[in-house]
């Protein structure tokens, strides 16, 4: 207890010092962990309603924010790491802001976004009660190698989960994890209705090379399926495909919706479906579809995930990209209407050093307007990649702030969009926050 108290005091001091320097970091978590190696287990020991880990390649931050919003709409006190600080030390750094000196978190539940590898480091310290496993795609090839390895990381997490697991019905790498779950642990699914299944290839890489006799699961009465109402509106349906089936045309009090989200695109709708299915598993009979729908409608895009910043009266959209599937979805969702475009690509550790994945993305949709500026550490690499797709690039400026200044100056009276990798997004977002009095993005993630 004394060691934990000392860790809290030292961590809070490091956190305050980090904020005085202009931003957060994983340093407070490192300080607390050095003093008390069992800090995570001690801090979460009194959380009665479950420790939920959200992980996968794409959509972690958005889905976590949606799940937390739904749970809070049901009156639950939820701790989360809302800034996307998805390494274990980043989780501790986020936690330090809410911990009393005794070091025990006061919350009904903890919902934590974790990087695929760090989810296992977290599970080594605190066994999760629930896990939401989103998808598997190529991302940060230098860290995770190919997608088979990422799938193994998620399967290992599922094996260590004690109460319930929610799996992506439409991702073969994820749905087959059901066979790795321990006896007695509930397995639920989220996915899309058959009417839009043909749109999935734009979201997920179905590079599946299995030679076993695995039989794909079918949605049951407790599983959530995304069903479109129109181009922008959808509902989450529970019961489709179940043995006791629910008519596709009949309303059902278990359904969540109709919904129109503040974040655009099919990927955001699937994230909302995952969040609704997980909340239903966590809350059981207390789950209120109307409360869930109201909460999901109110969720704003997390910073950099389609966030719109008003700059001198014009919208500037920040769009995070980090792998082929994600960039392809971003171009389809946000790039369908040509606007002034900048692309910022870094290759720092949190981005992934290997940017060869850019050659698996088609940039043909950018030909009409071209790209005003490519920037970041790999600004020239991005310009070369665009050249192969006959996308004109007016300028390369590797320094982010000068590139942003030039981009804004060249398009003062029209909407603008920046596609950016993680560390480029963080840097640009901090610059914009300082200039335009935006809300603090919180602690830096990895």
User: Of the candidates 410, 235, 389, which has an alpha carbon nearest to the alpha carbon of residue 311?
Assistant: 410
Lay out the sheet containing 256-259: strands in order across. Answer: 78-80, 109-113, 51-55, 130-133, 164-168, 186-192, 224-228, 234-238, 256-259
Residue 166 has φ and ψ, to the nearest 5°, of -115, 125
Biggest CA-to-CA distance, the chain: 63
Distance of CA 251 to the CA centre of its chain: 31
Active-site residue (options: 46, 179, 252, 354) = 354
Close Cβ partners of 251 (under 8 Å, ≥ 6 residues apart): none
- SS3 assignment, position 234: strand
Q: In this structure, is the dihedral angle defined by the CA atoms of residues 340, 433, 383 and 351, taken in order, positive or negative?
A: negative
Number of H helices, E strands in the chain: 15, 15
Indicate the DSSP class of residue 328: H
Contact 8, 97 (CB under 8 A): no
CA distance 231 to 266: 9
DSSP SS3 for 85:
coil
Q: Could you give the CA distance from residue 305 to residue 61 in angstroms, rounded to a whole number?
A: 9
Find all residues with CB under 8 Å of 211, minimum gap 6, and list them: none
What element of type H or E holds 131? Answer: strand 130-133
Query: Which segments within 142-231 are labelled E, that is strand?
Result: 164-168, 186-192, 224-228
For residues 443 and 138, what is the distance between their CA atoms, to the nearest angstrom?
A: 26
Of 289, 224, 236, residue with least CA distance to 260 = 236
Residue 207 among the catalytic residues = no
Looking at residue 304, the DSSP 8-state letter turns out to be: T
**Do 302 and 62 form a contact (C-beta atoms < 8 A)?**
yes
Q: Coil, strand, or helix at residue 372?
A: strand
Considering just the CA atoms, what is the radius of gyration of the chain in Å? 22
Locate tokens 């750094």: which residue? Answer: 93
- The dihedral through the CA atoms of 315, 24, 111, 61 has a sign that is positive
Tally of residues, the chain: 446
Q: So which residues are the catalytic ones?
A: 354
């Amino acid at each position: 207890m004394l060691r934990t108290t000392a860790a809290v005091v030292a961590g809070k001091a490091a956190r305050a010092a980090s904020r005085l320097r202009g931003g957060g970091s994983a340093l407070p978590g490192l300080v607390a962990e050095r003093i008390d190696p069992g800090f995570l287990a001690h801090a979460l020991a009194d959380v009665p309603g479950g420790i939920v880990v959200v992980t996968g390649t794409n959509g972690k931050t958005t889905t976590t924010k949606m799940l937390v919003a739904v749970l809070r709409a049901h009156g639950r006190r939820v701790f989360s790491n809302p800034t996307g600080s998805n390494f274990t030390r980043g989780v501790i750094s986020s936690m330090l802001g809410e911990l009393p000196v005794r070091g025990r978190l006061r919350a009904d539940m903890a919902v934590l976004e974790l990087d695929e590898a760090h989810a296992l480091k977290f599970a080594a310290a605190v066994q999760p009660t629930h896990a939401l496993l989103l998808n598997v795609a190529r991302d940060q090839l230098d860290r995770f190698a190919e997608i088979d390895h990422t799938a193994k990381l998620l399967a290992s997490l599922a094996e260590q989960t004690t109460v319930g697991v929610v799996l992506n019905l439409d991702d073969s790498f994820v749905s087959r994890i059901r066979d790795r779950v321990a006896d007695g642990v509930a397995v639920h699914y989220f996915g899309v209705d058959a009417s839009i299944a043909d749109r999935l290839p734009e979201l997920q890489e179905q590079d599946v090379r299995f030679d076993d006799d695995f039989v794909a699961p079918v949605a049951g009465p407790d599983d959530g399926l995304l069903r479109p109402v129109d181009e922008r509106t959808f509902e989450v349906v529970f019961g489709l495909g179940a043995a006791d089936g629910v008519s596709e045309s009949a309303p059902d009090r278990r359904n969540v919706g109709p919904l129109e989200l503040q974040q655009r695109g099919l990927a955001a709708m699937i994230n909302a479906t995952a969040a609704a299915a997980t909340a239903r598993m966590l809350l059981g009979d207390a789950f209120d579809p109307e409360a869930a729908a109201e909460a999901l409608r109110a969720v704003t895009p997390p910073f950099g995930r389609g966030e719109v910043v008003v700059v001198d009266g014009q919208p500037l959209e920040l769009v995070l990209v980090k792998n082929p599937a994600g960039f392809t979805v971003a171009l389809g969702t946000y790039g369908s209407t040509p606007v002034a475009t900048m692309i910022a690509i870094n290759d720092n550790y949190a981005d992934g050093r290997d940017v060869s994945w850019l050659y698996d993305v088609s940039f043909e949709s950018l030909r009409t307007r071209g790209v005003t500026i490519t920037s970041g550490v790999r600004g020239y690499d991005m310009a070369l990649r665009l050249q192969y797709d006959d996308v004109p690039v007016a300028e390369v400026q590797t320094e982010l702030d000068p590139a942003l200044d030039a981009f804004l100056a060249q398009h003062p009276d029209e909407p603008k969009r920046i596609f950016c990798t993680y560390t480029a997004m963080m840097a640009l977002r901090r610059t914009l926050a300082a200039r335009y009095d935006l809300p603090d993005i919180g602690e830096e993630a990895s």
